[in-house]
Structure 1
Amino acid sequence: MAQWLDAKITQRIDWNDHLFSLGFQCDDFPEYTPGQFTKVGIEQDGKIISRPYSLVSHPQDKSLEIMAVPVAEGVLSPKLHGVNVGDRLKIMAPATGFLVLHEVPDSRNIWLIATGTGVGPFLSILAGTEIWQRYEQVILVYAARHASDLAYGELIAKWQDEYPNQFHFVPIVSREKVNGALQGRIPALLSNGNIIEQAGQTLDAEQSQVMLCGNPQMIEEAMLVLKDMGLKKHLRRSPGQITQERYW
């Protein structure tokens, strides 16, 4: 049964003036699966104002972690942007969600394609051992508007060092030219083959699984491109190659 638990903020990372991560301690939080999300809230006037956030952290970590962007008209995110280490939060237990590896079929390679904070569940998945054991090649495609919006660079670089022949990182920045990154939007860069060329890996129905997370428009347009490439949405009753989670 879902219930609210008390949590204490133990870490805050400001990637820039609008993108931040919060780490918090909640000793009673039950075991979760990498890729899942939960609700995070702030108690105000006897009510809990909450929104769902994916867990960036891995279950083996000592603390829970989320990443967020303050939305001007949002009821919670501006308040979260204002909290500091030592402040209290509410977190809903248990975590939930189906953007998890045990819902994804086996294949030769797996593509993790994200925009913005949609990279969060993929970071949790990459921190575990299952993905490296099940797939020969792992490709992370991470898109943002500006280079400063690409978070967790040191963590991604660590995986590049640990799995140099297995892990392939394709950063994308849409609003500026950045050395080493593609410029544009994911659907167009899938359609013209630039993402596949940059990764140096195959993307087809026979050898690939794709996980999509982030902006709903990106997901809708990427789905159309992937379907034109012969891939289809994965369902338990009808296995396919595309697993997705929208962020709003």
Structure 2
Amino acid sequence: MIQWISGKVVENYRWSDTVFSLRVIAEPFDFKAGQFVRLGITVGGEQLLRAYSLASPPGASILDFVIAEVHEGLVSSRLAKLQPGDSVNLTQPASGFFTLDEVPDGDSLWMLATGTGIGPFISMLHTDKPWNRFKRINLVHGVRHAADLAYQDQIQQWQQQYPDRLGYQPVITRETIPGALAERIPELIRSGQLETALKTPLDTTAQVMLCGNPDMIQESRSAFAELGLAKNTRRKPGNVTSENYW
């Protein structure tokens, strides 16, 4: 049964003009890394709510939601204006099956995200589970502009903590930035550029998780199918697990 709990904003951190992290403290509740809850605000006596994945690890005292502000969006534009001390409502229990419990074993784990789809992966990487299960983890983050590359400091900390085990590849489509790839993720899969850049084979020894815009996910799944990597389901385990992020 869905219940509402009250949260209080402790920080509204701006990554860029359009991407922010809303950090909230609320009474503790259980969730798995990769799951989502709904955030709600009251407007004109009506409760407006949207689903957002948690970027914080299970058990964290502060809940982190990375959010894209949609121009004239009913909810995101209002969440973007919240300041420390403001109230926001959350639903519990958390929902969703985009978790590592649903992913079969493999040699490598590829986490491919666009935009704020990186949030669930940040939550997962905060836990021991991916590091205990996979020899190599590759995080690929596709954005339009470099300013939207969130969690850079945290990613660098993980790379220092797990040398040679975490690969990170930014993909920036509207700017030319040293070290970043510029084509769309499905094209990088087909061309082999992702394998080359991260020095890891994309074959049936790999497990892939996709989170982001539906077009990227659909096209990437087609590209992986061409490589022999099948969709992963509970009924028929495969190599590619995905979640549309809107």
TM class by shorter-chain length? over 0.9
CA contact (8 A) 1:175 1:184 kept: no
State which of 241, 244, 248 in structure 1 corresponds to 2:242: 244
Q: Which amino acid aligns with 1:116?
A: G
Aligned to 2:75: 76
Which stretch shifts more, 40-49 or 141-150?
40-49
Aligned to 1:226: 224
CA contact (8 A) 1:56 1:66 kept: yes
- State the Cα deviation string for residues 93-146 of structure 1 (Å, max 9, x = none): 111111100110011111000000000000000000010000010010111001
SS of the residue corresponding to residue 183 of structure 1 reads coil
CA contact (8 A) 1:139 1:169 kept: yes
- 1:60 Cα deviation (Å)? 2.8
Does 2:187 match 1:188?
Answer: yes
Q: Which amino acid aligns with 1:100?
A: T
- State the Cα deviation string for residues 27-83 of structure 1 (Å, max 9, x = none): 1x4111001011001022332100000100001321111011111242101111111
Aligned to 1:9: 9
**Structure 1 stretches of at least 4 aligned residues deviating more than 6 Å after TM superposition:** none
Does 2:176 match 1:177?
Answer: yes
Aligned to 2:112: 113
In 1, Cα distance between the equivalents of 2:185 and 2:124? 21
SS of the residue corresponding to residue 61 of structure 2 reads coil
- State the Cα deviation string for residues 215-234 of structure 1 (Å, max 9, x = none): 10000100110000001111
Q: Normalising by structure 2, report the TM-score.
A: 0.98
In 2, Cα distance between the equivalents of 1:74 and 1:17? 15
SS of the residue corresponding to residue 24 of structure 1 reads strand
Identity %: 41
In 1, Cα distance between the equivalents of 2:46 and 2:95? 22
Aligned to 1:125: 124
Gaps of 5+ in 2: none
Gaps of 5+ in 1: none
Aligned to 2:163: 164
SS of the residue corresponding to residue 6 of structure 2 reads strand
Does 2:147 match 1:148?
Answer: yes
Aligned to 1:214: 212
Aligned to 2:43: 44
In 2, Cα distance between the equivalents of 1:64 and 1:194? 35
SS of the residue corresponding to residue 182 of structure 1 reads coil
